[in-house]
Amino acid sequence: MFEVTLANIDFAYDYNVVLKDISMTITKGDFVAVVGPNGAGKSTMLKIMAGLIKPTKGQVSIGGKDMSIARVQGLIGYVPQNYGKNVLGFPATVTEIVSLGLTLSVSRARQNQQAAKHIVNHMLELVGAENLRDRRIGELSGGQQQRVMVAMALASNPELLLLDEPTSGIDYEASARIYDLLGTLNKNLGITVVMVSHDIDKAINSANKVACINKGLCFYGSSQEFNETHAQARHLWYYAG
């Protein structure tokens, strides 16, 4: 059974410990909203889940496999924080950007131009960006760019989709469309989603689980439980850390 397991994770940048004793299990089909204040370690935790950095202590695995192996096999799609902004000046088309997702995968499509084209088109349709395929990434709006980033992360047919603040800086309607899209990918395709967000209410609406990080794990449980137990206090403790 596919499961993401974090067991007693610590992480330090040099000697600065930013994550302490994080343990959680994410089950196939979960949609986990990761919340917590600035500097709490959310992006660091996502990078660990993406297999990009290794914990200083503890284990992390997906379906019993090491994350770095799962990543190479294309099982993990990752949309980093501010990724759209980072590629703004990059003179590539939407099709080229989404194709980058294929190179992470060991899928046979890599050796087959026609199949690769088909997958890229299919991903753009999935995120509702098929009409943008020949546009340059830098000319798109923030919401359109995020959809393209999600398409890129999906191109390797991942089991696990990690998104770091996919709606930050995006207007109400465009972010609602991104939440809808993630909900559809999660429910209809069974993709497990872990999403960092500062918009607690919207994130909790889409998610079935909430992880609150502030160096340690201050809460991990169902969205319902989070709502019930933290309804009054959560904005206060969120900002108080």
41 binds ligand ATP (CB under 6 A): yes
Considering only 39, 169, 216, 241, the residue that binds ligand ATP (CB under 6 A) is 39
Does 43 engage in binding with ligand ATP (CB under 6 A)?
A: yes
Among 24, 44, 55, 149, binds ligand ATP (CB under 6 A): 44
Cβ at position 58, least distance to ligand ATP in Å: 16
**Which segment (6-14, 43-51, 115-123, 210-218) binds Mg ion by CB under 5 A?**
43-51
CA nearest neighbour of 199 among 171, 222, 173, 165: 165
Q: Does residue 43 bind Mg ion (CB under 5 A)?
A: yes
In the complex, minimum distance from the CB of residue 50 to Mg ion, in angstroms, rounded to a whole number: 13
Q: Residues 53 to 82: which contact Mg ion by CB under 5 A?
A: 81
Q: Which residues lie near ligand ATP (CB under 6 A)?
A: 13, 18, 36, 38-44, 81
Q: Which residues lie near Mg ion (CB under 5 A)?
A: 43, 81
